[in-house]
Amino acid sequence: MTWIDWVVALGFLGYSIYDVLRKARGNRTLEGYFAGRRSIPWWAAGLSVMATQISAITVLGTTGQGHDTGMEFVQIYLAHPFAMVILAIVFVPLYRAAPILTAYEFLERRLGRGTRALCSGVFLLSRGLALGVAIAAPAVILAVITGLSVNWTILAVGVLTICYTVFGGVISVIWMDVKQMSVLFLGLALVFGILLVDLLPTFGTGGLLAVLGAAGKLNALELEPASTLFTPRTAGAGGAPSFWEDRYNFWSCMLGGLFLNLAYFGTDHSQVQRILTNHSADESRKALMVSAFVKVPMQVVVLAIGVLMYVFFVVKGAPLLFDPGDQIAARDPAVATRVAALQERYDAASAARRALAERVAAPEQTPAEREAAARQFRAAVAEVDRVRAEARTVVNGGRPKSDTNYIYTWFILHHLPPVLLGLVIAAVFAAALSSSDSVLNSLAGAFVVDFYRPFLAPHADEAHVMRASRVITVLGGLFATGSAMVLVDEGSLIEVINLIGSFVYGSMLGVFLLAAFCPWVGERAAFLGVLGGLATVGVVHLTLRVEFLWYNVLGCLGVFATALPLALLRRR
């Protein structure tokens, strides 16, 4: 990075912090600190709903996902608009019927204090871990830029996030989300445009699509179900995946994705908090509709950037190892010879891949010639992928490790001109701040409203509870920073955060549906129902090969299968 890039990126960061501190004045009550005095307009709340979910994880993890696996990940968002409509019709009127500060207060009114405390505790644990992933994403970029250890950059980003959030409230958070989303949109548009300007003169539109199709990157809709129903987790690997093991297809994403979106946007307080800040239920519905109609097109663009980066690397070349830590480990004398041999194989396979890509894109050929070129191109693609995977395993002591999260960073640092690079770095940090501050504020709100005030300080005045809110914000940020250091190397960040949520979201959705439609089940049956849903997911995870999207369905069914029989027995 040049000095001007640093000026652009740090200038935006400094302005963000200044604006939060300026808007934080006057937040002296819980209603103001956690609900924005119910004064946020619908369009700002809608952008904040998106900003809370669209973090640096989206920029780094989703673009890397597009590079590695193509457009198939977009299927996970197909159910998003349907979920938003259902929530607007069913959940918004329930939440806005009486003033509440957290989603879990609604549970207490229907299913008792024990159910509220359990579900709020599950939220605090799962979102605390997920916030760690959100902190890890910008730390990855900072580590690449500065050459520091990723643990040190995680600590720096975590401390900044805590300081940024502790003095603000949800009002300052939401209005900064609006600004940060604007910068994020600009940064994505710049990278997308630069890739197209570079690739279209080389291949043309038809040739570019032909190369992407031959590489298997245009797989945005997969309808064919797997041949087998399920495979026990103890069975050996190999063969085609079962129906439940096929991670991203139309069926798993429409059903599992619908439950995931309903649970995330309807029961996770980091999202519900946004629709509690509006003046009325109608305003809350409009906020959800902003996300319903903007989210999917934006995710298509983000994945398309990753897909275009793949072709860009086919033409321009890319390193054998994207992760700077892996590059350093490759110079170790114990593995240097093996890495050098792999580098030779990689260079040869990359050269063959580029030559075959040009053949695939050539317009003057028969269908048979194009198919033959595509078949050879796919073989070269497979060889490149094999060599890269083997190199990552070698430099990590035999442990397979993904470098998905470093691909976008390597591209922008090596191929964007000055000033534009600074803007894109600012966009990544904008995404990081807009999600981290929102989640950290909601974590503090849930702990204070659901635990501290009712159980630990029931008679404390407002000033005392506000001081406690800021202390709890600091503690929550430290927990998230610690979890970031553990989770940063667990693969694609966007998949890690969805996996964490999927372990609990189905159970959360199940108990909220009980509260909405079956409040007669009672507190004890509902409490045990949540435990039953969590246990169902745990047993399935340990015994069967089932991908995480299905956990959202199974957890919800587990709640009903446990709670309803218990409630009926009690009534008898």
Where does 147-169 have alpha helices with state H?
150-166
Rounded distance between C-alpha atoms, residue 529 and residue 111, angstroms: 11
Q: Residue 411's closest CA among 170, 555, 199, 134? A: 199
Q: Which two tokens stand for residue 283?
A: 């305003």
What backbone phi and psi angles, to 5 degrees, belong to 491?
110, -165
Tokens found for residue 123: 């939220």
Going by C-alpha positions, the residue among 269, 228, 8, 221 that lies closest to residue 125 is 269
Q: Would you mind telling me the total number of residues written for the chain in this entry?
A: 572
Residue 500's pLDDT is what? Answer: 82
Q: How far is CA 572 from the centre of its chain?
A: 45
Secondary structure of 487-525 in HEC code, one letter for each residue: HCCCCCHHHHHHHHHHHHHHHHHHHHHHHHHCHHHCHHH
Q: What is the pLDDT of residue 357?
A: 92
Amino acid at 364: E
pLDDT of residue 492: 61
CB atoms within 10 A of CB 291: 29
Q: How far apart are CA 184 and CA 62, in angstroms?
A: 14
The DSSP output letter for 147 is -
pLDDT tens-place values along the chain, 572 residues long? 777 888 887 887 777 767 766 665 555 566 656 555 565 676 666 666 666 666 666 777 788 888 988 898 888 888 989 999 999 999 999 888 877 888 899 999 999 999 999 999 999 988 888 788 777 777 777 777 777 788 888 888 788 778 767 766 666 666 666 776 777 778 888 889 999 999 999 888 999 999 999 998 988 777 765 545 455 555 544 555 666 777 777 888 888 889 999 998 889 888 887 777 777 888 888 888 888 888 888 889 989 999 999 999 999 999 999 888 888 889 989 899 999 999 999 999 999 999 999 999 888 778 888 889 999 999 999 999 999 999 999 998 888 788 888 888 889 888 888 888 887 787 777 666 666 777 787 888 888 889 988 888 888 887 888 888 888 888 888 888 888 887 766 656 667 777 888 899 999 999 999 999 998 999 999 999 999 999 999 999 898 888 888 999 999 999 999 999 999 998 87
This prediction's pTM = 0.81
What does the block give as tokens for 370?
């194009």
The whole-number pLDDT of residue 290 equals 82
Beta bridge partners of 232: 544
DSSP 454: I
Question: How far is Cα 529 from Cα 511, in angstroms, rounded to an integer?
Answer: 7
Show the tokens assigned to 363.
């317009």
Task: Select from 406, 350, 434, 357 the least CA-distant residue to 61.
Answer: 406
DSSP letter at 232 equals: B
Residues 549/257, Cβ–Cβ less than 8 Å: yes
Tokens at residue 439, please? 């989640």
Q: Which residues pair with 544 in a beta bridge?
A: 232
Q: Give kind and range of the element (H or E) at residue 468.
A: helix 462-487
Tokens of 348: 């040869």
What is the distance between the terminal CA atoms of the chain, rounded to a whole angstrom? Answer: 71
Compute and round to an integer the Cα radius of gyration of the chain. Answer: 24
Distance, in Å, from the CA atom of 523 to the CA atom of 525, rounded to the nearest integer, reads 6
Task: Give me the DSSP letters along 254-306.
Answer: IIIHHHHHHHHHHH-HHHHHHHTSSSSHHHHHHHHHHHHHHHHHHHHHHHHHH
Which amino acid does the sequence have at 540?
V
pLDDT at 12: 76
Q: Which two tokens stand for residue 421?
A: 């690079």
Measured CA to CA, the distance from residue 141 to residue 137 in angstroms comes to 7
